[in-house]
Structure 1
């Protein structure tokens, strides 16, 4: 029996891939618009032809659900890149969502299915960036994170500063040089981190985590100098904003543009336009404190002089008052003493007068009781052995008795 399988069409790999290419071209005879997020582009910059990928993510889980290889050939690179930058003010890079005009193609030798980009819509990307930015800001605001770091208290003398930037770059140099010019001592704790490119998010977040665990750091500053204005979009980052919001230390930014305001700036304790101005912020903070000390010293000296002068005046017034009141008191007491003296003198006069009168009365009574005076009135006093005879029963016959009369004594013997 003849095997008919060998009579059927059998494709070689190249023929198959070529056939698939033709099918795709027949299905998509014209250029089509495709949207997706760029990845792997940055590593290809400067290449003759740029090969990268467009991917689609689940918006809820931030997971890749589909991807496709993309190519920009050398003949189109310059035109597409210039158009994109002029139209969006952003350089084409990884992480951007773009809308591109392309044709579907297959490279038969490899069997690779891809899109070849012929044009780009910068307004789409600009809109997506604005939309993403607005969504992040809304989310941070609803969670109360936009001003959370600003609720912290910055030291009056912030001399220990945690510096986050890329060493050797313009931002690092400008900030350090600005501090040195002040001749104020600053202690810098440096953490090297990318300030542009796809590593910005991870390295800035790591640096913030590091300083959030450090003691005695007065403030953390994130600076970025020079570079492209379009690189600022790296700082419109939700994770960086969340890290700053939950920092226990005030965060100062000086990302390097005078007109643009990133989400990182929005959540920071203080936003400064450039690294140099950020350095000036710390210098002025300390100078304000020192000026305040000087003003306070002058005020204290002035108030002390006024207080001393006022108290001296009060003492003079008190002295005058004491003198006046003392004079009045002495005058009042002098009068009172004089009155008391007169009263006492009157009292003593009356007292001695009464004493004299009393003595006189007692004298009269004594005189009236004196036997001599009684005798002078015609009475006599008889005594036996010196004892006055008051009763006849007190004498005996034969005793000698002396009788006293007013002009002498009569001696007699008692017979019966």
Structure 2
């Protein structure tokens, strides 16, 4: 069978559509990290917990409506749409609203204990006990001075006043509350005076209701042989005791209603049908609302604003990368300049010039000394040679009265009369001057 081959762009586009269609609008809690707000005014960050993180983008239009300024390390709850950033293939959250998360530490402890007990099977429906249709005696574990006990007793009198009530007074808040509640559950099971227990208190914060999230209280409820109805807080309040109890009621008053039958059974039947009808209508309304949300999400995905928003996000990312690249390039060039300057100083010709100048001065001095010495030597040799030459010079002999005769024609020195004949002209050199004469007669000695 031939298979469809996707391009990367097609795969990312269809994946983004699937994510957007499946997660129309969700709430996510986590800690802000890697916060970045470029010049566009959009906000980019990661939302993380102890084991994972997800990238988030909150555009300027939504950010202006925020009651506080996001900071790294702040625990928040965001309302967001899941999308895929196609150019990079990363899935991310497009945040529409953000608020600070309260009781973060208690919430994490709540979730950890809930997960632990759920894995142990304490919340399994197989362990839930059925409530008696007509209880003989109802046990109430709550504060004897709170509003919850008054509400419960009022409802019990109205619904079935003949059922006896046993109150187990306990503290429902504070350090000792968990011990008193656990002990009361154990006492009721030991005495076996009642066949259904109502565990109740009024509403409050997560910290106020924490006694009903303590492990020892939850395990005491699980170990109880008497069915337990939890009616802790208001309808929106949820404790771990609600998960392990045999029945969870929205309020203490609702717990009293679940514990007793109504005298008007037909009215109860009508109420049941009314409740079922309301649930059915609510379900239909939810389905229609989901369909509207789905169509709205599809319409938003096809809107040109989405493409402009993605392009703006891409521009912001490129701006951040450009700034980082420019900073890295500047640091690199600065390092090269500093290295080059250091190398130039290492190879500077000034030291060589100074050494050559010193050597030139030294050689000049040596040359002058050598020339002077050589001149002295040559002068001395010249003087000695002059003296020697003067000593052997015929001029010196002439100065003693001798004369030097040369032939005028031949220029040769006349040493014997054999070199002359009468009539020859000769030149006679004296110590001072010379004269010419003619040979008249020759005499041999």
Q: Does the alignment reach a TM-score above 0.5?
A: no
Per the normalisation by structure 2, the TM-score is 0.35
Per the normalisation by structure 1, the TM-score is 0.38
